[in-house]
């Protein structure tokens, strides 16, 4: 029997790739990418979905944006130099390695996000990229990255698709709380 194609809170992790303070001003719709990612991080925390943050050369690009760090109290932080977060076993000791599904947000869609998700897919992970949670300096580069991801069977999803699949059902206290605070 094959695993469910739905994203499950008990089998997924949230990977936030390189949402760093010095890079974000150059990202097309960077403020929206941050807002959508923070929204998803907050829901992940409520549902017990582990979050992993990566930072590309933080000495040059700074650490993760303050809004991301404010939500990252229990997140595993990984510094890297390779564009793919999966290179050099950087994610080996994280929830990304230990869970079969990975939900991905971050920048830049056509560089670090793309290389990371291609490597995760090649490693056998089910990979879900949150369309409004990724960005590039140029909108065209993001569009090309999304197209290439789809061509390699990486699922492109919305933040609400992720949230409702993690929730699975209405009528629970956690659903009521998330619905009241996040679903508008």
pLDDT tens-digit profile of 125-166?
A: 999 999 999 999 999 999 999 999 999 999 999 999 999 999
Domain count, the chain: 1
Q: pLDDT at residue 30 above 70?
A: yes
Output the domain CATH number for residue 165: 3.40.50.850
Residue 26: both structure tokens together: 């150059």
Asked if the structure places residue 99 within a domain, the reply is: yes
Residue 177, domain extent: 12-182
Closest CA relative to residue 114, chosen from 132, 100, 98, 134: 134
Asked if the structure places residue 4 within a domain, the reply is: no
Q: pLDDT at residue 1 above 50?
A: no
Q: Show which residues are catalytic.
A: 18, 80, 112
The Cα 94–Cα 121 span in angstroms is 17
């Amino acid at each position: 029997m094959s695993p469910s194609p739905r994203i499950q809170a008990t089998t997924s992790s949230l990977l936030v790739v390189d949402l760093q303070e010095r890079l974000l001003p150059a990202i097309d719709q960077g403020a929206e990418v941050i807002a959508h990612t923070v929204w998803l991080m907050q829901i992940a925390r409520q549902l017990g979905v582990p979050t992993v943050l990566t930072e590309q050369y933080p000495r040059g690009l700074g650490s993760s944006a303050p809004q991301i760090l404010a939500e990252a109290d229990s997140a595993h932080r990984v510094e890297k130099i390779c564009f793919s977060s999966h290179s050099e076993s950087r994610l080996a000791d994280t929830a990304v390695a230990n869970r079969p599904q990975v939900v991905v947000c971050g920048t830049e869609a056509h560089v670090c996000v793309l290389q990371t998700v291609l490597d995760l897919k090649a490693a056998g992970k089910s990979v879900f990229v949150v369309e409004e949670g990724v960005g590039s300096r140029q909108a065209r580069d993001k569009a090309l990255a999304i197209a290439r991801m789809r061509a390699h069977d990486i699922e492109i999803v919305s933040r609400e698709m992720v949230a409702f699949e993690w929730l699975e059902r209405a009528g629970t206290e956690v659903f009521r709380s998330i619905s009241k605070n996040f679903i508008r």
